[in-house]
């Protein structure tokens, strides 16, 4: 999953980025509203953490422009404690959730996980596909209740499939959502990760659709 963090306080930006990276997300950052709006308009994100008090272009304006341009990624806004009116304006502009500064990083992670799940149509933190289960809170993967070990990138690929079950996902889409902007992307590695997952999971769980991509659905 790929996250955009738009925050002008560099210490906080670095803290949020580090915590998200440690949780297994790919992360891009922007330090002002202008750069953030551009990235949100031109790159695919699974969620955005958006501060409202930004230089150049304020967060509310950025969010309004995204929604006007049909950018529907879920957005978690960050607001100052006393700015209740910013929360209202944020929701009216199209925000999905908010956090009041200062906040605990554990709460930020929980809210990011929740808005990603909801945007993909999942209410529970436990995602299941046949005998395979993924606990989005812990990152633990099990098959018929038995835990298995995945590498960080294998887990990213599986997580994206589990969030988007039953839909054909192209190689390009996978690359865009598991790597950050600066990563040296190689489509061949996706095939390697999928081959590894098929060996560790069930061979027919991830189906190939020639010329279109892959899908994940329970084995019939």
CA–CA gap between residue 77 and residue 196 (Å, rounded): 37
Pair of tokens at residue 127: 């995602």
> CA 65, CA 93: separation in Å to the nearest integer?
9
In Å, how far from its chain's centre is CA 169? Answer: 15
User: Would you write out the chain's pLDDT as a tens digit for each of its 220 residues?
Assistant: 999 999 999 999 999 999 999 999 999 999 999 999 999 999 999 999 999 999 999 999 999 999 999 999 999 999 886 777 888 888 999 999 999 999 999 999 999 999 999 998 898 999 999 899 999 999 999 999 999 999 998 999 999 999 999 889 999 899 999 887 666 666 678 888 999 999 998 888 899 998 899 998 764 4
Beta bridge partners of 87: none
Domains and CATH numbers, the chain: 2-119 (3.40.50.2300), 126-216 (1.10.10.10)
Q: What is the pTM of this model?
A: 0.87
C-alpha distances out from residue 194 to 122, 127, 150, 177, 191, Å: 23, 19, 12, 15, 5
Q: Find all residues with CB under 8 Å of 3, minimum gap 6, and list them.
A: 20, 25, 26, 27, 28, 45, 46, 47, 48, 49, 112
* pLDDT of res. 219: 47
């Amino acid at each position: 999953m790929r996250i955009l963090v738009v925050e002008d306080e560099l210490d906080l930006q670095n803290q949020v980025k580090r915590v998200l990276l440690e949780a297994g997300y790919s992360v891009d950052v922007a330090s002002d509203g202008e750069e953030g709006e551009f990235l949100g308009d031109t790159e695919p994100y699974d969620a955005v953490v958006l501060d409202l008090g930004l230089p150049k272009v304020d967060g509310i304006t950025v969010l309004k422009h995204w929604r006007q341009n049909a950018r529907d990624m879920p957005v978690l806004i960050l607001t100052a404690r006393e700015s209740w009116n910013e929360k209202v304006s944020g929701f009216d502009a199209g925000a999905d959730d908010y956090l009041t500064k200062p906040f605990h990083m554990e709460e930020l992670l929980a809210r990011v996980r929740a808005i990603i799940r909801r945007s993909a149509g999942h209410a529970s933190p436990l995602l299941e596909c046949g005998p395979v289960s993924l606990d989005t809170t812990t990152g633990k993967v099990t098959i018929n209740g038995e835990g298995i070990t995945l590498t960080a990138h294998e887990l990213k690929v599986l997580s994206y499939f589990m969030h988007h079950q039953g839909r054909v996902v192209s190689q390009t889409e996978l690359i865009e959502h598991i790597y950050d902007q600066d990563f040296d992307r190689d489509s061949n590695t996706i095939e390697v990760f999928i081959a590894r997952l098929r060996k560790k999971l069930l061979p027919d769980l991830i189906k190939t659709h020639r010329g279109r991509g892959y899908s994940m659905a329970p084995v019939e």
